[in-house]
Amino acid sequence: MSPQFQQARWSEPLLSELGTPGERGYVPTAPEAEIAAHAPDPLTAIPPAFRRSAPPRLPQVAQPQLLRHFYRLSQETLGNDVAVDFGLGTCTMKYSPKVNEHLVRMPEVQDLHPAQHEDTVQGILEVLWRLEQMLCAISGLDRFTLQPPSGSAAVYTNASIVRAYHASRGEGEQRDEIISSVFSHPCDQSGPWSAGFQVVELYPGPNGYPELDALKAALSNRTAGIVITNPEDTGIYNPHIAEFTRLVHEAGGLCVYDQANANGILGIARAREAGFDLCHFNMHKTFSSPHNGMGPAMGASGVKEELARFLPAPVVERRGDRFELDWNRPDSIGKIRSFVGNAQIAVRSYAWILALGPDGIREVAETAVLNANYLATRLREVPGMSQPYPTSNTPIEQFRWSLEALREETGVGSADISRNLADYGFQPVFGSHHPFIVPEPLTPEASESFSKEDIDRWADAMIDIAKRAQADADDVLEGPYRNACRRIDAAALDDPERWVPTSRVERAKGAVKGD
Amino acid sequence: MPHPYIPNSAPEVRREMLDAIGVDSVEDLYRPIPSELRFKGRLPLEEGIPEEGRLRRHVEGILRRNTPTTDVLSFLGAGCYQHEVPAVCDEINRRGEFVTSYAGDVYGDHGRLQALWEFQDVFAELIEMDVVTTPNYDWSTAAAMCLRSSVMLTGRRRVLVPAALLLDRRLVFQDYLAHDVQVDEIPFDEATGLIDLAALRGAIGDDVAAVYVEYPNALGVIEHQAGEIVEIAHEHGAMAVVGADPSGLGVLASPGSLGADFAVGDLQPLGMHMSYGGGLSGYIGCRNDAEVIESLPVFIFAKTDTLEPGQHGFGYLNFDRTHYVKRGEGSQNGGTTTALWAITAAAYLGLHGPEGMRELGEGLLQRTRYAADRIGALPGVTAPRFSGASLKEFVVTYDAHDVASVDAALRERGIFGGKDLSVDFPSLGRSSLWAVTEVHTKDDIDRLVATLGEVLA
């Protein structure tokens, strides 16, 4: 197998370089003559010092050239619609049904103002309410808020609720520590930190998950709770999780479940049975809303009934056949963002769950686990690939393996292999969150959306790249070749003297050089 | 029946995969999960609807109970606005390649990274700040993040914010800051709606990490003292976080020109549908200062060279500053925010150019002036309530009628009136905040005035 793929390589100029002075791509509707006559020089109301002194240096380009530019950039982007994207382990890339894209572009969704009177938004409130009920069923918890606009925002929300809970019991000052594990998502530490906690991280034992003794040693009267992912980033499920939650409860803490990795256990295992008080799901991962190139997104935070009073305002309540926004929440943590959140994402996830139903949801989980394990089986054929925690050899969802042996043999590491996947029409494969406990890590995740053939082709590409590395390391080190851009000078990204986030910075650097 | 969203449903394919793995059934793959943690039974969900037509009818049936603003005449604003959405913006942000991308990054998503860099590049010209990040969730969270950064950078634990603040913004600050930062509100002048500078000078001290100011403020007033406020902050070693609605920046002074340390605001007016608040996107600009950038967890892309001479490549600027690397040791939360809206805003600014942004700004000022004066001419109404200039919003106060009743009567006549301020600003009495943009024609405004006149009569 040699790469047959060729990505578009348009070598597009920068947006700021398009067009010619005097061109334009849009004319905003001008006010009518009577309105203009009423305020002929509208800027007189603005003190001169507060008027813009020079026009902004924006592009001056006609519509066809601008549209073409962005279409070409889209062709240089390997979205899941056009490429098999299970390189992004922990991100649960899956099919985002097109019918849902049509639904969110209805005027009844996209042209709603968030402060409309409740009588005029009964439909969207009903969708929010129904989705909440579904998530309660899937998690076993009692209430959800759909306000957090990302998974990490949902973890942060839950940490805020933990803070409010202890404060309500007069223990806010004392309980200032959150326990997490190093294989939990990074936001399981930064979220609690942002909410004011110190974070204690547990390292994995020989089976890849933290030992009970490590947890016991970390618990104290300062413990506010635990924020943990399971299956962890490695795809390894901690079988002692119920013991973990029991011990944290005994110490007076709350248990927060990061369920960003829920895809393999939908309908199989729930937060409630494992003893969690709070959890969250990523609507843009497990529940099919597209990732939108890094948002907008939605993280739904769920809690047990006794914590519902702390949820951000407002919550959707059903009173008879009517849906209302309840703002009267004196114990609420406040708000996580404006209005109710990214409502269009709730529409997509609601429609997705409804399309599947209880049996379909379970089939999603089972197929995801089947796909993950089949992919793992195929990847055993990759030269120099090893499994770091062999006793926990059944991945649930993604898995984290190592190319350390290949690196030692050839000098080609996991990041090099990952980059070269672009030559085969695949997104690069995710390595690991920091710290890199597993050396030369790779973390793929084959969700239920991918066929056996998809998996075979991806595995074949991985095998091919590793064999090429054995034959000619430089060939792989200099790759990729067939995608939209060659290997970059990455040092310029981290050096404040060299980095170029905008042309303004580039001009300033040029001016300095010119001196 | 195989579900259309799930391949590998055919029994023979599943068998083949299970055989390759070396297990009898999928159930064997769930061995790591102890049986006492297994959920027994079937999830209590409605039966699935695999037929697209039936699913669509069902969901559309629910959604049709909404009345979109496009079916009525709406004057709601207060943080989310009905502006024109150029068709090209809709076309670009519905491209499946962008919509279903995530982290293909440097080598898989070269085009997405270039588009996001271009957003930074052109938006930096609009706000006249050297660095622009991938936007945060919305204006409120962008402001909260920069205020937190100011606290981290100065080591001080007090911030000053205007009392003329949207309730949403106040509640975001309450959650994100107030647990360990003192958030003090600076009152506004009752006549102008502008910040009371004397009160600001009285409140500020060397314990203040940052002063936040925005234009327009929650009363619709253009805070034209923002430059002075920035100076007052700097005199005390505090940072200045300046919020600005980008739809006015074709004609109004930019945050950068005012000396802002951080610029924030919402991209939603620049090509995003409102989507019940789902169109919001909070831009952040800052100086090209490594320490300041270090305090922000949101992604920034940088342009660099590749092995091929003359080719641009794009990558993450100082990725190590993000929460993905720092985890629990001193990083705010980053991650997935609102990248698709940044790409859309870049296209919007490219379409409009300097001239379009000037025309947009001037047109907003003119329509608002016309609408406020016409409404203010009605008996029993004060509009605009404040003398400070408006960009696209102004406060209307009724002498005798309560806002909710007037709104209900207008609604019956196909008009959504301004946002009721009785909860956000009880001190303003029977007041509401009205937004007028380029979607409103003279006929629209005249019809509103006539109808409001009937309702109040």
Query: Residue B375: which CATH number?
Result: 3.90.1150.10
**Cβ neighbourhood burial of B444 (10 Å; 0-12, 13-18, 19+):** middle
Inform me whether the C-beta atom of residue B295 falls under 8 Å from chain A C-beta atoms.
no
Nearest beta carbon to residue B99 from set A71, A290, A499:
A290
- pLDDT for residue A511: 75
Instruction: Please indicate, yes or no, whether residues B424 and B326 belong to a single structural domain of this protein.
Output: no
Q: Which of B295, B314, B348 is the last residue of a domain?
A: B348
Instruction: Please indicate, yes or no, whether residues B137 and B151 belong to a single structural domain of this protein.
Output: yes
Q: What angle do CA A476, A478, A482 make, to 5 degrees?
A: 85
Q: Per CATH, is A102-355 categorized as 3.40.640.10?
A: yes
Q: Are A38 and B366 in contact (CB under 8 A)?
A: yes
Q: b or e along B157-183 (b: 16 or more beta carbons within 10 Å of the residue's beta carbon)? A: ebbbbbbbbbbbbbbbbbbbbebebeb
- pLDDT for residue A1: 56
Total tally of structural domains belonging to chain B: 3
Q: Where are the beta strands (DSSP E) in A211-312?
A: 223-229, 254-258, 278-282, 299-303
Instruction: Please indicate, yes or no, whether residues B98 and B216 belong to a single structural domain of this protein.
Output: yes
Q: What architecture is the A359-483 domain classified under in CATH?
A: Alpha-Beta Complex (3.90)
DSSP for B341-364, written as a single string: HHHHHHHHHHHHHHHHHHHHHHHH
pTM beyond 0.90: the answer is yes
* Within-domain flag for B2: no
* Within-domain flag for B400: yes
Chain B contact probe: residue of A485, A495, A498, A503 with most B CBs at under 10 A = A485
- pLDDT for residue B44: 97
Could you give the CA distance from residue B98 to residue A249 in angstroms, rounded to a whole number? 44
Nearest beta carbon to residue B275 from set A343, A485, A490:
A343
Instruction: Please indicate, yes or no, whether residues B433 and B450 belong to a single structural domain of this protein.
Output: yes
Instruction: Please indicate, yes or no, whether residues B388 and B414 belong to a single structural domain of this protein.
Output: yes
Q: Which of B329, B348, B367 is the last residue of a domain?
A: B348
Counting one residue from chain A and one from chain B, the pairs whose CB atoms sit within 8 A come to 757
pLDDT < 70 positions in chain B: none
Name the residue in chain A with its Cα closest to that of B369: A39
Q: Are A231 and B33 in contact (CB under 8 A)?
A: no
Containing domain of residue B429, as a range?
69-84+356-456
- Helix A122-139 to helix A343-379 angle (10° resolution) is 30
Q: What angle do CA B301, A398, A205 make, to 5 degrees?
A: 105
Residues from chain B contacting residue A110 (CB–CB below 8 Å)? 68, 273-275, 279
* Within-domain flag for B1: no
* Within-domain flag for B215: yes
* Within-domain flag for B177: yes
Q: Structural domain boundaries of chain A?
A: 102-355, 359-483
Instruction: Please indicate, yes or no, whether residues B224 and B328 belong to a single structural domain of this protein.
Output: yes
Inform me whether the C-beta atom of residue B330 falls under 8 Å from chain A C-beta atoms.
yes
* Within-domain flag for B395: yes
Name the residue in chain A with its Cα closest to that of B1: A360
Residues from chain A contacting residue B74 (CB–CB below 8 Å)? 113, 116
The SS3 of residue A421 is helix
Instruction: Please indicate, yes or no, whether residues B327 and B416 belong to a single structural domain of this protein.
Output: no
pLDDT < 70 positions in chain A: 1-2, 392, 512-515
- pLDDT for residue A515: 44
* Within-domain flag for B4: no
Nearest beta carbon to residue A419 from set B66, B107, B130:
B107
Instruction: Please indicate, yes or no, whether residues B208 and B226 belong to a single structural domain of this protein.
Output: yes
Which CATH number fits the domain that encloses residue B211? 3.40.640.10
Could you give the CA distance from residue A195 to residue A160 in angstroms, rounded to a whole number? 6
Chain B contact probe: residue of A61, A113, A198, A494 with most B CBs at under 10 A = A113
Inform me whether the C-beta atom of residue B100 falls under 8 Å from chain A C-beta atoms.
yes
Name the residue in chain A with its Cα closest to that of B54: A355
User: pLDDT tens digits, residue range A283-338?
Assistant: 999 999 999 999 999 999 999 999 999 999 999 999 999 999 999 999 999 999 99
Could you give the CA distance from residue B217 to residue B165 in angstroms, rounded to a whole number? 7
CB–CB contact B411 A117 (8 Å): yes
Instruction: Please indicate, yes or no, whether residues B80 and B91 belong to a single structural domain of this protein.
Output: no
Instruction: Please indicate, yes or no, whether residues B106 and B201 belong to a single structural domain of this protein.
Output: yes
- From residue A267, how far is each of A32, A77, A137, A436, B287 by CA, in Å? 59, 34, 9, 32, 49
Instruction: Please indicate, yes or no, whether residues B210 and B343 belong to a single structural domain of this protein.
Output: yes
Inform me whether the C-beta atom of residue B166 falls under 8 Å from chain A C-beta atoms.
yes
HEC profile of chain B: CCCCCCCCCCHHHHHHHHHHHCCCCHHHHCCCCCHHHECCCCCCCCCCCCCHHHHHHHHHHHHCCECCHHHCEECCCCCCCCCCCCHHHHHHCCCHHHHCCCCCHHHHCHHHHHHHHHHHHHHHHHHCCCEECCCECCHHHHHHHHHHHHHHHHCCCEEEEECCCCHHHHHHHHHHCCCCCEEEEECECCCCCCECHHHHHHHCCCCCCEEEEEECCCCCECCCCHHHHHHHHHHCCCEEEEEECHHHCCCECCCCCCCCCEEEEECCCCCCCCHHHCCCCEEEEECCCHHHHHCCCCCCEEEEEECCCCCEEEEECCHHHCHHHHCCCCCCCCCCCCHHHHHHHHHHHHHHHHHHHHHHHHHHHHHHHHHHHHHHCCCCEECCCCCCCECCEEEEEECCCCHHHHHHHHHHCCEECCEECCCCCHHHCCEEEEECCCCCCHHHHHHHHHHHHHHHC
Locate A10 and state its tokens.
Answer: 């348009």
Instruction: Please indicate, yes or no, whether residues B98 and B80 belong to a single structural domain of this protein.
Output: no
CB–CB contact A122 B66 (8 Å): yes
CB–CB contact B37 A449 (8 Å): no
